[in-house]
Chains A and B, each alone.
Chain A
Amino acid sequence: DVVMTQSPLSLPVTLGQPASISCRSSQSLVNSDGNTYLNWFHQRPGQSPRRLIYKVSYRDSWVPDRFSGSGSGTDFTLNISRVEAEDVGVYYCMQGSHWPPVTFGGGTKVEIK
């Protein structure tokens, strides 16, 4: 199984400042079809998860452009250019390149300083 490792576990951020979350996989996430199925999700307290980014860097239509995804192979990053109060919660990366099973990272909790 592909192990997904996120860092940091907790990320205190200042409103208006940038934030960055790292996600590393135990093997390359390049699929046999050439695509890299690495997604990012955000879960606010008491809510369901919501997808932000798919295939490394494609932003979902409901996602503000301050969110961006990058990376390749085994190293991936979610960036928030300017953190807003609504961005608090837990962020998860997920790989769908080598499944079953689909696997998630352990999560990064973002909170406001």
Chain B
Amino acid sequence: EVQLVESGGGLVQPGGSLRLSCAASGFAFSTWWMSWVRQAPGKGLEWVANIKQDGSETYYLDSVKGRFTISRDDARNSLYLQMNSLRDEDTAVYYCATRRAFDFWGQGTMVTVSS
């Protein structure tokens, strides 16, 4: 059974940093693309970033480029999202999802950017 468990969310001031983690199990993590998708309170879904199987390719939403970094540790079956220079508009639930077609999702972790 595929399981994705996100962690690392919380309250942070504008300009601050957070590192999200996603622990994966139940599938061959190292062979799959992985993605982050977010959802602002009461809003729709927004793709944030994804990373190729070997980490050699990464892609980002324009509004997070240069501030967010997606990475993975295949030995730990884990996906990460380093978020720097956070803004109010980054407030959202952040989900990790499998592949680029988002066939499986975690339960999400809430990030609140506020002073």
Please, which residue of chain A has its CB at the minimum distance from the CB of B65?
A100
A30-55: which have CB < 8 Å to B?
37, 39, 41, 43, 48-51, 54
B32 in contact (CB, < 8 A): no
Contact call B102/A39, Cβ cutoff below 8 A = yes
Contact call A48/B108, Cβ cutoff below 8 A = yes
In the complex, number of A-B residue pairs with CB atoms less than 8 Å apart: 56
From A104, A106, A107, give the contact of B47 (CB < 8 A): A104
Please, which residue of chain B has its CB at the minimum distance from the CB of A104?
B45
9 more A-B residue pairs beyond the given contacts A60-B103, A106-B44, with a C-beta to C-beta distance below 8 A: A48-B95, A48-B105, A49-B102, A49-B105, A50-B105, A54-B103, A90-B44, A94-B45, A105-B44
26 A-B pairs within 8 Å (CB atoms) are namely A37-B101, A41-B45, A48-B95, A48-B105, A48-B106, A51-B101, A51-B104, A54-B103, A92-B44, A94-B45, A96-B100, A96-B101, A99-B47, A99-B59, A99-B100, A100-B60, A100-B61, A101-B47, A101-B59, A101-B61, A102-B35, A102-B100, A104-B45, A105-B44, A107-B44, A107-B45
